A and B are shown apart, each in its own frame.
Chain A
Amino acid sequence: MEPNWAAEHLQVIRTLMERSAVYRRALAPMMLLTGLVGLAAASLGWGLGIDSPRSFIRYWLGISLVPLIGCFLLVRWQALRDGEAFWSPPTRRVAQAVLPAAVAALVVNLGILVQLGPGGASAASHFAHKTVLGWLPTGWVILYGCAIHAAGFFMPRGIKLFGWVFVVGGCALFLLGLPDSPGPLFAHGVMGFFFGGLHLAYGIYLYFTEKRKQAA
């Protein structure tokens, strides 16, 4: 009796169970793309002087579509390349996990945009500035962390920790105290640090660790 067959069977079982339960597609490229877009958008937003509450929300809502579409195309490309279904069970689970926080963020943004009105006195008030340029980016960071952490139950282990970094980082900003008059540097800085820098760093880490795993 060939003894290796049992080990090979166990390996096949492990692979199939992972395929069934864990999302593994294009994580490093997605993180790198999101990080680069985040850093570039933060620099551009600051450079262009996007500092009114309305323009800040609209700018970042628009920017968020870039990594969203980019990640969709990356995942679709990888699924086609590997001959797998795009809307696989793990992809569906991750989407379902992310959805509540994403919907909450979108509704809050649209609600604030409606509240601010078309750019009158309410949009220029100190309260509007503090809410949008101080609290809103911090809230986005926390909601995003919750979404990532929820998705982490169906992804490799490190993702949950990554989600916690956002949640803890966002909460720390609240606890340490937001500036009384947050300017565009603070608002775009928070966005650039969390959505740019952290994604880029994690993407680089994933790129090298995944490469090492493939080589092993």
Chain B
Amino acid sequence: MNPEPFLQLDRVIHEKGRLPIVSLLAASPELAFTEIRDTLSMTDGNLSMHLRTLQEAGYVALTKSFQNRKPLTTCALTAAGRAAFANYINLLEEIVRQAKKV
């Protein structure tokens, strides 16, 4: 089996904690920090850490605002994040195709 697609997988996305975050964001225009935390049953600290990594890679944009006088953090995939996620999916599909041929 050609290991090339596997080697091309984006290591920022290809991580147990970050892949679910990116998957959720890919299906929504934006999600609140608490929605992601509750859906994935993550702790605040763990989610913050992963979001920071995604933000530093330019894949996620965070917006801070107030709703009913409470701070609200919303997260959204950037264009670069969507492109990287699409590329990641394509590579996974390529790996699946290769595995079927073997």
Contact = CB atoms under 8 A, between A and B. Distances in A.
Contact of B92 (A1, A9, A19, A84): A9
The secondary-structure label for the interface of chain A is helix
B39 A6 contact: no
B84 to A, nearest CB: 13
Interface bin, chain B: 20 to 34
B24 A17 contact: yes
B24 A10 contact: no
A85 B35 CA distance: 9
Contacts of A171: none
B23 to A, nearest CB: 4
Contacts of B38: 85
Given A13-B19, A85-B38, A88-B39, A18 B95 contact: no
B68 to A, nearest CB: 14
A182 interface: no
14 contacts: A1-B6, A6-B96, A7-B96, A10-B89, A12-B23, A13-B19, A17-B24, A18-B27, A19-B24, A20-B23, A20-B25, A20-B26, A21-B28, A88-B39
Interface of B: 1, 3, 6, 19-20, 23-28, 31, 35, 38-39, 89, 92-93, 95-96, 98-99, 102
